[in-house]
């Protein structure tokens, strides 16, 4: 029996899986608001109170994907005031093998086992069998991961690329950069390409009150801004959303270049499936490809959106099964 977890800035998924390969089979899965709990052990307690495995088939392995850098067996989450220690979890729940990996590394582990119905093709391209792949995922924050092609097999590698410096390309993006520099000092990509980032952009595009009545400080503002833009209820929300989509596409293109992802570029996270009309209308891909003189390379790369919201959890189970 495998216990897997996907610990994000907003929600945490936990699941029990049978150790089938290449894709472990789910037995039970629950979702929890991350910040409702003081730490990972308390969420595991709540989960096992409902789904305790039998003594005949105990949990032998566990893997948790966490939204933050993992050093050794420990991690401090970037957008959650938690410190997670794999050894503590192993002792507390009598699990022989507990692995802690970055949440995007976990999602990347799911990429090779995803089915066709679990992805949406943005650009067919022509995948190179020996090529690398890459994964970018905007949600509460921004995550990136690499999938190195070693002998025809993808080996996921974590990254903190979402915290690299934001590179503005246009006058409007420069205005966003200046505003964020004034407010935060240093501006990483996540300040622009994430749910919080969309709220940050909203503050720049609105000189006065929002026509849709949106307060960018509200926790639900990213979804409200997206909906107002897609429904054309506020011109300034439309501008903010356009800036977000183009910045997302540009950063995806940057990652594709850094990884030479001729095997494919995958877009994960909670935002992308909810805004598919905006990702498929050309804005995202134009920004993705606009990397002279390498437009032909980027145009040939397959680009797909991951639709399965449990991809990170599945990937953690895949990692545990192979540990």
Question: For residue range 127-177, what is the model confidence (pLDDT) as tens digits?
Answer: 999 999 999 999 999 999 999 999 999 999 999 999 999 999 999 999 999
Q: What is the pTM of this model?
A: 0.95
The 70-71 sheet, strands edge to edge: 70-71, 74-76, 83-85
Tens-place pLDDT, residues 233-258: 999 999 999 999 999 999 999 999 99
Q: How far apart are CA 78 and CA 10, in angstroms?
A: 12
Tens-place pLDDT, residues 271-293: 999 999 999 999 999 999 999 99
Non-local (6+) Cβ contacts of 59 within 8 A are 1, 2, 3, 16, 53, 93, 95
At residue 53, the pLDDT reads: 85
CATH superfamily of 2-109+310-322: ATPase, nucleotide binding domain (3.30.420.40)
Non-local (6+) Cβ contacts of 179 within 8 A are 200, 203, 204
At residue 57, the pLDDT reads: 85
Residue 320: closest CA among 106, 29, 50, 134: 106
When the candidates are 3.40.367.20, 2.60.40.1110, 3.40.50.1000, 3.40.190.10, the CATH number that belongs to 119-306 is 3.40.367.20
* Per-domain boundaries in the chain: 2-109+310-322, 119-306
């Amino acid at each position: 029996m495998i216990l897997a977890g996907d610990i994000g800035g907003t929600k945490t998924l936990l699941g029990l899986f049978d150790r089938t390969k290449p894709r472990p089979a789910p037995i039970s899965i629950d979702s929890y608001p991350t910040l409702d709990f003081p730490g990972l052990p308390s969420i595991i307690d709540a989960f096992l109170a409902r789904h305790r495995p039998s003594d005949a088939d105990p949990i032998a392995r566990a893997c948790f994907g966490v939204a933050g850098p993992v050093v050794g067996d420990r991690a401090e989450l970037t957008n959650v005031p938690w410190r997670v220690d794999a050894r503590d979890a192993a002792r507390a729940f009598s699990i022989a093998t507990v692995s802690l990996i970055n949440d995007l590394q976990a999602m990347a582990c799911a990429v090779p086992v995803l089915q066709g119905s679990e992805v949406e093709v943005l650009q067919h391209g022509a995948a190179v069998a020996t090529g690398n792949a890459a994964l970018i995922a905007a949600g509460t924050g921004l995550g990136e991961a690499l999938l190195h092609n070693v002998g025809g097999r993808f080996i996921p590698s974590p990254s903190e690329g979402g915290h690299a410096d934001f590179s503005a390309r246009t006058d409007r993006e420069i205005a966003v950069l200046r505003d964020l520099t004034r407010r935060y000092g240093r501006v990483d990509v996540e300040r622009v390409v994430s749910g919080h980032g969309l709220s940050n952009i909203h503050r720049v595009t609105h000189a006065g009150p929002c026509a849709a009545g949106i307060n960018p400080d509200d926790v639900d503002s990213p979804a409200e801004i997206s909906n107002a833009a897609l429904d054309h209820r506020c011109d300034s929300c439309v501008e903010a959303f356009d800036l977000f989509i183009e910045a997302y596409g540009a950063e995806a293109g940057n990652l594709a270049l850094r990884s030479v992802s001729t095997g494919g570029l995958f877009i994960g996270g909670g935002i992308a499936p909810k805004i598919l009309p905006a990702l498929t209308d050309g804005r995202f891909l134009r920004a993705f490809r606009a990397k002279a003189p390498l437009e032909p390379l980027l145009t040939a790369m397959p680009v797909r959106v991951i639709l399965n919201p449990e991809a990170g959890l599945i990937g953690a189970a895949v990692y545990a099964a192979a540990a």
